[in-house]
Amino acid sequence: MGILYRARQFWQAIRIKELSQTAVSQINDQLTIAEQAIFQQLPISDQWHSYKVMKTVQSKTDDPIMLTAALLHDVGKAKSPLSVWDRSFIVLIERLLPQQTAVWGEDGIGWKRPFAVKTHHPRWGAEMAAAAHSDPAVRSLIRRHQSPAATTDTQLCLLQWADDQH
């Protein structure tokens, strides 16, 4: 991702407003009550991000599995929310020391916590989705959304592509 893209993300994150009534309605139409409860644990900036990912996926398919996975793909971040500064730190270090971020992600204590969230949020999100009785296919997509895409897995490729757009 380019620096201008990240700067725009940073600016949007500090000016973020509540979800629109239209967005809330579309989200609630897609998610079960239990899934809505875990979605609402996300910070507003992550809710907006997930909503935009869903809308991007929706431009390619109306598959309910894909739309739900798009909305819930980052829900694991609710276990240890990241500030705008944490996110900026991750991006900077990924640029400077890309191999080190994975190492720090395994030992996410203290200042390394943002890297642990980046590393583990897919698994945490899949566990949260399982507790909310989400479809196994949704849970699988959430768990794998940060993995290298298998070119034969069109659903994963679509989710990752949509995620990269926002």
Chain centroid to CA 24: 17
Q: pTM of the prediction? A: 0.84
Query: Which domain, by its residues, includes 140?
Result: 3-165
pLDDT in tens, the chain (166 residues): 456 655 665 666 666 678 999 999 999 999 999 999 999 999 998 999 999 999 999 999 999 999 999 999 999 999 988 877 787 787 788 788 888 787 787 877 788 888 888 899 999 999 999 999 999 999 999 999 988 866 789 999 999 999 988 8
- For residues 132 and 107, what is the distance between their CA atoms, to the nearest angstrom? 28
What total number of domains does the chain contain? 1
Q: Please provide residue 133's backbone torsions phi and psi, each rounded to the nearest 5 degrees.
A: 60, 35
Q: Which two tokens stand for residue 129?
A: 């989705």
| Cα atoms found within 13 Å of the Cα of residue 126, Cβ hemisphere only | 14
